[in-house]
């Protein structure tokens, strides 16, 4: 008997031989790190921010009369018919995902830096960029999750906050970030090269925050109560983005696969010099092209490449649109090089904002001067081949100093629309929805006979992913009608 | 093995009786019909007496009998034969196997322990080697389909290296793996490795269907077990050599119905006739919405090479051979298999070698497998050793399709080259979109003036011959499965063993795509088509090379694990009480899984046709990962049998697994089973002529299941896209929120069933009912990205899987009674799955694609867009006459079959036998993305069904007021051509492309001629048989499915989602051929 027990014991012992105490501890992932640093997170998040604006809003370009589907390819007919719905989503729906993903990283950075005084600068940049991203979300979708966002262990179904509430809170966040930089910016760790927008220049970040506040204020110009406008004075001394403080992202774009400037890689050419898909499918639109033509604007040939010496633009939804061989693609002013910096917030937009604020009497200064400076900055940004002075002297262009506020706003937004071409299609569309300007020589709506509307959508539907993952809160927003439901600031 | 076991029992019981003086002596050999081998231990009795002998090792017997007496030959597993002794002193007998003799079958259960079927308190099924290899399938899994109730084999595609999923009793896990565990000689192995096993090496397969059968195998077996036992040397002491050759042809059998009436036009504004307003022929289009074929000569594509080049003039009418028939060839599979076996009571050895060479219907694709195995056994006193080594080398070459593992497993998209992973450029899609007037053979040489990339006329597709010639994936798999088992039987009531196994493989894959240089004329895009060449303004699309090297199970799964396992077992079976047979098994099992892979590659090769990562422009792509899983378990299994008719079994297992965090790592699960055999105890039943055998059983079991991979409990960061820029690094949070508090999934299953045999086993009936609940589902739930993560892994919800299984076998005619034998069998399973709960407040979960889990509904459930419909369900058309997409999603149905019916039939006449297997599956739906693609191109028959004229959308209504609808009798679609089929919401809506997934298939046909009796005089040959075989010869689908084999699905075998067929698969095929088997 004993013999048998010992045989059994020997076998079971052999069986157990591998069992060291920590044999089962395999919790450390050898393939992906579970930790990061503020520097890595900041660099990654800023570079990601620089891909959203240029890549996520092609339909706003098409709807806004800036871009047009190529005549050589079958268009996504629903987009040119405005037949978008929660199940037929336009590309800007990618922005929902991209912005919240981007925000997750800024939020992580803000949370982790908040407990480390030396990381105050990272915290401040995170707060400012969060405001930048949330403003885009509101401008696309109006009400979105805000206060209940980013709490995955407790809130799987975040409720939506109103766009107005979020706008008001963003102003407070921007003020707090400006104050934090003033208080701790000099003593805390400088982000240095990991800040791929301003290289760690914290004063510039204060200027960025202040300009963003100005944008929030201008955007609410139609409203009777405007908390952002009321708050402008408190940080007025900081000033606004100008040509020397352009918010350009430049992590080190280079002519290699995946490392090119994001706009260039999608709407320009690949590392072998071959045209990218976006270059083939997005052509010039007759609406913006004719507007520039009517103003003798030399920027048209910077935005759109000439074919046989002329810009041959297409019309949205026109079944007879010309093929690629004879239609104009995007031009040399936009596609300079694969290593060009990616603008996040341009000086010309800032100057137009200041022009309008001055015209409205919200900030001191000459609206006409801001206006002229803005157009000049825009000419320079796209290497326009022509004299700014000649251009500005034209009757249709010169700032209507003696005009009514509405005439002044009309002039500002018309010029702003031309300046924002292609690189800031979202902002052009936002301003069109806010002011109804520019008044275009051609109806920007679709020529597609199957178009479901002759007016442009006022917003895009929520993404289908929200219906699947956050149903109750989405349904609380009611049935969205894209032709009647406005963003809260819209005209 | 069976014969041997019973021989021992027989010998110990043998009683020799004295012979009568006036008797004469009869001698002879008893052989088995199926393999022609002698059968030792056969009882040879004189009818009406107790006098008898047993056959010896060589199957020979000698008996002294009175004149005119009748000899009864009986042996378990064979039909008893009674033969009158004549004057001939030699009486050779051939015994026929009984296919299903319930209760006597020995079943291989957990850990390779063999049990009499009578003792089992759960449902099992046995599949014999003969059944598996009946039609010479190269993959064992294909040999199982249609043969066992509750076992569904899904052949997900038809490639040279197909994905196959084996599922028992439907889906339990919402998003985890629902595949059965494959166990080879007692050791779990990856299911994907079935393709590396030589089917001819298999002795038998036990299917342990439910959680009850698997409770002792551990968490991996919660979806049931397919336990494969391989062949060993027989104990006949005679060397036996078997050689088998089979050759089969494979031909395309099922593909979408295509139109042959209309040529090319795709919405081009400048190809509309200004006078008539009709569309004109467009020479470069891939869309077929142009004018009707009229036989006139037209120019195909631009002139060759330059504006002044030769023009390719073809008649504008359907080419007599469809592009599909012309492109796909006949595939050939040839298998050569040789095995040697020898053994005696103490030693045995089995050696086999196989070469399986397969080409498929796709030109240039081939799969060559060389498999070798050695298995042996040695007993020395109380010690014994069993060992086996199986090595296989598989060499596969195939084209790079959309579903290449580089993309699906490792997330690397072959970028920026002539063939992209964009759907339009996959092989099948490139063929399907060819207009009917193309003669595809004209482009067969991709370097010829017609076939080269610059001149290929279809502006938006790639020459399919270029894909099969120039975009290749070459695979080499080396797989080694080795095990050794040491056992000690020191006494009658104790058996101790240690079983060590090591299974690993190396998978090496190389993906190459050739450089393409375009002519300046082609990149100038003379028609302004925005053509493929127009994208390459630099004139060059550089070549690509990607190398994948993986140490793991030898497959391309990420991860696919190598496995080292040690099992220590102590088996105590003392006879403590009279009438009680007790058996206690206690053991410990430890395994480690390991996988490591590295990938390097570039799509910027510098030198044409030179594939080496050292010679590239730009930076190489590199990726690596390794994974370790460790698991320790202890278990016990107590089996108590009372007088042979009542059996109780209880099991208990504790498992600790490294994938879970320390606090949740250890979990336990029990099971209890009972079986009762009334025919063994109730006296009125004991000798019943009607009811031969009856067994009733019930079991209750619980099994844990870990449905996460290693390291999936803590959040991680990954490199931000584009980084590093120089020395600047960037990290981005992952999009999945992991949780260290995850627990294992728990499946609780109740099962009851019965097995009945009537009329001396002529008719068998099996029934089982199971009901299982799966709690703590480990689900990567899609969360709104506003939570910060698009996915959170949670333990949520509960599912139910419940079903009925029936299996009947009847010998309609037995050979004994008539010359014609006919055995008819049927198996049916009905599965109902239901989602009981998800997260509180969540009634629906996306499972990927169009598959969803919805509370109260079966899963996976296909949901998608449908048209706006009136309350009666008729489509509401808008002012254009087109139906419109509704914004809410519609439920179409479940994507896994609810009903699975197999019908098997075997006829035999003398030496000829014919067997067939039919299978029906139904109750499910399939989304045919292929239909949508074909409507886009206008290649489908459906798209031409109205002659491209305006028509009234069938069964449509017009809305005239709120909730008021009138039948549409006058409003035709605005455009019955391009406008309706391509640009209206008809094409983009899901519902037109959803069809029933039902099918009938003639799975297998085998016609065997057993020529043993014709070669009796041959000294060296023991057996010879010749067979004709066929697989998937016919498929019948509902009329609405004109697209493809509904069994196909563009989902991974390990995914729970099904029911999504698209252009990434190939057309369905049928296989037919013949085989010769010689035994020496």
A24 contacts B732? CB cut-off 8 A:
no
- Which class for B249: exposed (0-12), middle (13-18), buried (19 or more C-beta within 10 A)? middle
Decide if A308 touches B, using CB distance below 8 A: no
Mean per-residue pLDDT for B535-558?
A: 89
Of A96 and B131, the structure prediction assigns the larger pLDDT to A96
- Going by C-alpha positions, the residue among B1061, B889, B875, B887 that lies closest to residue B980 is B875
Give the model's pLDDT for residue B35.
Answer: 61
Distance CA B880, CA B248 (A): 54
pLDDT, tens only, B385-398: 999 999 999 999 99
Mean per-residue pLDDT for B519-541?
A: 85
Is there a contact between B974 and B995 (Cβ–Cβ < 8 Å)? Answer: no
Among B65-69, B342-346, B532-536, B704-708, top mean pLDDT goes to: B704-708
Distance CA A340, CA A381 (A): 11
pLDDT score of B500 more than 70: yes
pLDDT band, residue B11 (cuts 50/70/90) = very low
Mean per-residue pLDDT for B84-113?
A: 69
pLDDT band, residue B1018 (cuts 50/70/90) = low
B722 contacts A259? CB cut-off 8 A:
yes
A104: helix, strand or coil: helix
The Cα of B317 is separated from the nearest Cα of chain A by a number of Å equal to 25
pLDDT score of B351 more than 80: yes
Sign of the CA dihedral B164, B166, B169, B172?
Answer: negative
pLDDT, tens only, B410-432: 888 876 456 554 444 678 888 88
Among B136-140, B492-496, B532-536, top mean pLDDT goes to: B492-496
Q: Which of A190-204, B241-255, B678-692, B793-807 has the lowest mean pLDDT?
A: B678-692
- Tokens for B1020, please give them: 């060296």
Give the model's pLDDT for residue A16.
Answer: 55
B525 contacts A30? CB cut-off 8 A:
no
Contacts of B783 in chain A (CB under 8 A): 152, 156, 469
The Cα of B667 is separated from the nearest Cα of chain A by a number of Å equal to 14
Give the model's pLDDT for residue A5.
Answer: 60
Minimum CA–CA partner of A192 in chain B: B728
Of B733, B846, B865, the CB nearest to A108: B733
Give the model's pLDDT for residue B965.
Answer: 94
- The residues in A 328-367 lying below 8 A from B, measured between CB atoms, are none
Give the model's pLDDT for residue B425.
Answer: 65
Mean per-residue pLDDT for B451-469?
A: 90
Strand order in the sheet with B844-848: B844-848, B851-854, B861-867, B885-894
Distance CA B635, CA B746 (A): 17
pLDDT score of B20 more than 60: no
- Measure CA of the first residue to CA of the last residue in chain B; give whole Å: 20
Mean per-residue pLDDT for B365-380?
A: 93
pLDDT score of B532 more than 60: yes
- Going by C-alpha positions, the residue among B439, B435, B457, B438 that lies closest to residue B262 is B435
What mean pLDDT is reported for chain B?
A: 86
Give the model's pLDDT for residue B418.
Answer: 66
Of B491, B731, B839, the CB nearest to A41: B731
CB atoms within 10 A of CB B577: 10
Distance CA B217, CA B206 (A): 14
Mean per-residue pLDDT for B684-692?
A: 78
Of A258, A274, A323, the CB nearest to B530: A323
Q: Determine which of A26, A47, A307, A308 to mutate to test the interface with B (most B C-beta atoms within 10 Å).
A: A26
pLDDT, tens only, B857-914: 998 899 999 999 999 999 999 888 999 888 788 999 999 899 999 999 999 888 889 9
Length of chain A as a residue count: 491
Backbone angles phi, psi at B171, to 5 degrees: -85, 140
Give the model's pLDDT for residue B14.
Answer: 34
pLDDT, tens only, B800-833: 999 999 999 888 877 665 678 888 999 999 999 9
- Going by C-alpha positions, the residue among B111, B35, B119, B45 that lies closest to residue B77 is B35
Give the residues of chain A that fall short of pLDDT 70. 1-21, 92, 441-442
- The residues in B 715-734 lying below 8 A from A, measured between CB atoms, are 715-723, 725-726, 728-734
Q: Determine which of B628, B787, B839, B864 to mutate to test the interface with A (most A C-beta atoms within 10 Å).
A: B787
Mean per-residue pLDDT for B624-629?
A: 94
Give the model's pLDDT for residue B438.
Answer: 93
A171: helix, strand or coil: helix
Of B38 and B132, the structure prediction assigns the larger pLDDT to B132
Mean per-residue pLDDT for B231-255?
A: 86
pLDDT score of B283 more than 80: yes
User: What is this model's ipTM?
Assistant: 0.91
Q: Determine which of B784, B889, B935, B936 to mutate to test the interface with A (most A C-beta atoms within 10 Å).
A: B784
- Tell how many helices (H) and how many strands (E) occur in chain B: 12, 56
Give the model's pLDDT for residue A489.
Answer: 97
Find tokens 């166990």 and name the residue: B183
Of B526, B569, B730, the CB nearest to A47: B730
Q: B1079: Cβ–Cβ under 8 A, 6 or more apart, which residues?
A: B35, B36, B37, B240, B241, B242, B1021, B1022, B1023, B1024
Give the model's pLDDT for residue B110.
Answer: 65
Q: Which of A318-322, A418-422, B313-317, B557-561 has the lowest mean pLDDT?
A: A318-322
Give the model's pLDDT for residue B208.
Answer: 87
Decide if A94 touches B, using CB distance below 8 A: no
3-state helix, strand, coil in chain A (%, to 5): 50, 5, 45
């Amino acid at each position: 008997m004993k013999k048998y027990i010992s045989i059994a014991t020997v076998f079971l012992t052999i069986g157990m031989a591998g069992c060291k105490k920590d044999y089962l501890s395999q919790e450390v992932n050898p393939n992906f790190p579970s930790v990061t640093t503020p520097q890595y997170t900041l660099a990654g998040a800023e570079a990601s921010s620089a891909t959203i604006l240029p890549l996520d809003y092609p339909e706003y370009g098409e709807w806004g009369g800036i871009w047009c589907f190529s005549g050589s390819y079958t268009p996504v007919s629903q987009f040119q018919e405005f037949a978008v719905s929660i199940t037929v989503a336009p590309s800007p729906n990618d922005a929902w995902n991209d912005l919240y993903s981007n925000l997750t990283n800024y939020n992580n950075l803000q949370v982790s830096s908040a407990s480390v005084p030396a990381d105050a600068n990272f915290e401040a940049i995170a707060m400012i960029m969060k405001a930048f991203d949330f403003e885009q979300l509101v401008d696309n979708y109006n009400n979105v999750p805000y206060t209940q966002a980013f709490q995955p262990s407790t809130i799987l179904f975040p409720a939506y906050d109103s766009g107005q509430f979020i706008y008001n809170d963003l102003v407070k966040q921007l003020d707090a970030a400006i104050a934090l930089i003033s208080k701790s910016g000099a003593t805390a760790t400088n982000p240095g090269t990991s800040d791929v927008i301003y290289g760690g220049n914290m004063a510039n970040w204060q200027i960025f925050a202040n300009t963003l506040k100005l944008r929030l204020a201008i955007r609410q110009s139609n409203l009777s109560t405007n908390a952002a406008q009321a708050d402008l004075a408190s940080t007025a001394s900081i000033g606004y983005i100008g040509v020397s403080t352009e918010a350009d992202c430049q992590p080190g774009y280079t002519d290699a696969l995946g490392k090119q400037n994001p706009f260039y890689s999608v709407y320009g050419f690949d590392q072998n010099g071959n045209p990218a898909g976006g270059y083939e499918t997005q052509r010039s639109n007759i609406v913006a092209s004719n507007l520039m033509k009517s103003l003798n604007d030399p920027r048209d040939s910077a935005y759109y490449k000439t074919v046989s010496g002329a810009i041959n633009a297409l019309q949205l939804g026109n079944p007879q649109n010309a093929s690629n061989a004879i239609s104009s693609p995007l031009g040399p002013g936009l596609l300079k090089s694969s290593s060009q910096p990616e603008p996040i917030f341009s000086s010309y937009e800032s100057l137009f904002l200041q022009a309008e604020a001055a015209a409205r009497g919200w900030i001191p200064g000459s609206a006409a001067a801001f206006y002229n400076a803005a157009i000049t900055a825009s000419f320079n940004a796209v290497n326009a081949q022509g004299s700014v002075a000649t251009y500005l002297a034209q009757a249709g262009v010169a700032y209507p100093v003696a005009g009514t506020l509405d005439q002044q706003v009309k002039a500002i937004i018309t010029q702003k629309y031309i300046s924002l071409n292609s690189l800031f299609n979202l902002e052009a569309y936002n301003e069109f929805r806010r002011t109804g300007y520019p008044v275009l020589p051609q109806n920007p709506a679709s020529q597609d006979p199957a178009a479901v509307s002759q007016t442009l959508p006022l917003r895009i539907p929520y993404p289908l992913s929200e219906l699947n993952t956050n149903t109750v809160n989405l349904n609380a927003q009611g049935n969205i009608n894209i032709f009647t439901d406005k963003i809260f600031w819209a005209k | 093995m069976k014969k041997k076991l019973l021989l021992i029992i027989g010998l110990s019981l043998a009683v020799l009786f004295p012979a009568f003086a006036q008797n004469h002596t009869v001698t002879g050999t008893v052989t088995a019909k199926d393999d022609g081998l002698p059968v030792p231990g056969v009882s040879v009795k004189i009818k009406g007496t107790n006098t008898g002998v047993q056959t010896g090792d060589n199957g020979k017997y000698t008996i002294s009998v009175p004149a005119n007496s009748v000899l009864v030959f009986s042996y378990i597993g064979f039909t008893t034969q009674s033969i009158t002794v004549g004057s001939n002193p030699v009486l050779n007998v051939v015994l026929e196997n009984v296919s299903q003799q319930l209760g006597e079958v020995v079943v291989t259960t957990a850990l390779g322990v063999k049990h009499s079927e009578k003792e089992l308190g759960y449902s099992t099924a046995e599949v014999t080697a003969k059944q598996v290899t009946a039609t010479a399938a190269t993959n064992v899994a294909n040999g199982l389909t249609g043969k066992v109730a509750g076992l569904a084999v899904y052949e997900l595609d038809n490639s040279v290296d197909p994905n196959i999923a084996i599922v028992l009793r439907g889906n339990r896990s919402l998003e985890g793996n629902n595949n059965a565990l494959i166990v080879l000689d007692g050791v779990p192995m990856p299911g994907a490795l079935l393709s590396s096993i030589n089917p001819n090496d298999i002795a038998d397969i036990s299917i342990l269907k439910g959680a009850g059968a698997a409770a002792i195998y551990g968490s991996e077996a919660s979806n049931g077990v397919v336990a494969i036992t391989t062949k060993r040397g027989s104990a006949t002491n005679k060397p036996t050599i078997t050689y088998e050759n089979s050759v089969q042809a494979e031909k395309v059998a099922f593909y979408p119905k295509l139109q042959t009436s209309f040529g090319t036009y795709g919405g081009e504004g400048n190809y509309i006739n200004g006078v008539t307003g009709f569309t004109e022929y467009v020479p470069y289009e891939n869309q077929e919405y142009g004018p009707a074929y009229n036989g006139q000569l037209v120019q195909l594509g631009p002139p060759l090479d330059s504006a002044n080049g030769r023009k390719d003039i073809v008649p504008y009418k359907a080419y007599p051979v469809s592009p599909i028939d012309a492109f796909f060839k006949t595939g050939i599979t040839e298998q050569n298999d040789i095995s040697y076996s020898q053994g005696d009571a103490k030693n045995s050895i089995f050696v086999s070698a196989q070469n399986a060479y397969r080409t498929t219907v796709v030109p240039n694709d081939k799969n060559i497998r060389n498999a070798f195995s050695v298995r042996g056994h040695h007993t020395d006193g109380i010690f014994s050793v069993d060992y086996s080594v199986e090595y296989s080398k598989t060499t596969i070459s195939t084209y790079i399709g959309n579903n290449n593992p580089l993309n699906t497993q490792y997330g690397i998209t072959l970028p920026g080259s002539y063939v992209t992973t964009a759907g339009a450029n996959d092989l099948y899609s490139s063929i399907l979109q060819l207009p009917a007037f193309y003669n595809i053979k004209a482009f067969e040489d991709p370097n010829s003036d017609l076939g080269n990339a610059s001149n290929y006329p279809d502006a938006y597709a790639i020459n399919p011959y270029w894909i099969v010639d120039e975009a290749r994936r070459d695979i080499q798999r080396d797989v080694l499965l080795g095990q050794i088992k040491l056992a000690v039987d020191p006494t009658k009531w104790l058996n101790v063993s240690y079983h060590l196994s090591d299974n690993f493989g190396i998978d090496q894959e190389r993906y190459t795509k050739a450089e393409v240089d375009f002519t300046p004329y082609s990149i100038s895009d003379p028609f302004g088509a925005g053509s493929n060449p127009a994208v390459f303004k630099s004139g060059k699309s550089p070549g690509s090379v990607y190398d994948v090297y993986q140490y793991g199970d030898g497959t391309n799964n990420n991860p696919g694990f190598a496995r080292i396992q040690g099992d220590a077992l102590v088996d105590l079976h003392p006879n403590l009480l009279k009438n009680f047979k007790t058996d206690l098994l206690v053991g410990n099992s430890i395994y480690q899984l390991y996988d490591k892979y590295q990938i390097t590659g570039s799509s910027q090769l510098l030198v044409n046709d030179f594939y080496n990562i050292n010679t590239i422009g730009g930076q190489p792509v590199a990726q690596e990962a390794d994974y370790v899983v460790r698991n320790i378990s202890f278990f016990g299994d107590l089996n108590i049998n009372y007088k042979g008719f009542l059996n109780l079994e209880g099991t208990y297992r504790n498992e600790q697994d490294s994938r879970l965090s320390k606090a949740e790592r250890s979990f336990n699960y029990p099971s209890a089973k009972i079986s009762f055999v009334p025919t063994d105890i109730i006296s009125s039943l004991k000798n019943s002529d009607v009811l031969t055998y009856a067994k009733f059983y019930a079991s209750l079991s619980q099994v844990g299941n870990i449905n996460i991979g290693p390291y999936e409990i803590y959040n991680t960061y990954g490199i931000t896209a584009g980084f590093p820029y120089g020395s600047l690094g960037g990290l981005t949070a992952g999009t999945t929120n992991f949780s260290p508090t995850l627990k294992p999934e728990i499946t609780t299953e109740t099962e009851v069933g019965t097995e009945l045999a009537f009329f001396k086993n002529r008719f068998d009936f099996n029934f089982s009912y199971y009901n299982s609940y799966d709690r703590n589902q480990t689900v990567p739930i899609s969360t709104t990205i506003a939570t910060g993560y698009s996915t959170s892994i949670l333990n949520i919800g509960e599912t139910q899987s419940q079903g009925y299984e029936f299996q009947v076998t009847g010998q309609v005619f037995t050979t004994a009674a008539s010359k014609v034998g006919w055995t008819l069998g049927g198996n049916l399973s009905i599965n109902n799955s239901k989602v009981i709960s998800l997260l509180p407040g969540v009634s629906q979960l996306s499972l990927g694609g169009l598959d969803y889990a919805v509370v109260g509904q079966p899963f996976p459930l296909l949901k998608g867009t449908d048209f706006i419909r009136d309350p009666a369900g008729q489509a509401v058309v808008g002012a254009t006459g087109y139906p419109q997409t509704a914004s809410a999603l519609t439920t179409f149905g479940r994507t896994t079959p609810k009903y699975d019916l197999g019908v098997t039939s075997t006829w035999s006449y003398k030496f000829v036998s014919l067997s067939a297997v039919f299978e029906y599956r139904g109750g499910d739906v399939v989304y045919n993305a292929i239909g949508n693609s074909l409507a886009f191109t206008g290649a489908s028959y459906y798209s031409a069904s109205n002659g491209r004229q305006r028509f009234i959308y069938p069964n449509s209504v017009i809305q005239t007021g709120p909730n008021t609808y009138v039948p549409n009798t006058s409003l035709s679609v605005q455009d019955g051509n391009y406008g309706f089929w391509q640009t209206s919401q008809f094409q983009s809506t899901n519902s037109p492309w959803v069809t029933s997934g039902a099918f009938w298939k003639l799975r297998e046909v085998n016609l065997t001629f057993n020529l043993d009796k014709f070669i009796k005089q041959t000294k060296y040959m023991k057996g010879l048989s010749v067979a004709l075989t066929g697989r998937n010869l016919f498929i019948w689908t509902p009329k609405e499915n004109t697209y493809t084999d509904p069994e196909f699905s563009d989902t991974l075998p390990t995914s729970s989602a099904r029911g999504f067929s698209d252009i990434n698969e190939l057309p369905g095929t049928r296989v037919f051929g013949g085989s010769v088997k010689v035994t020496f």
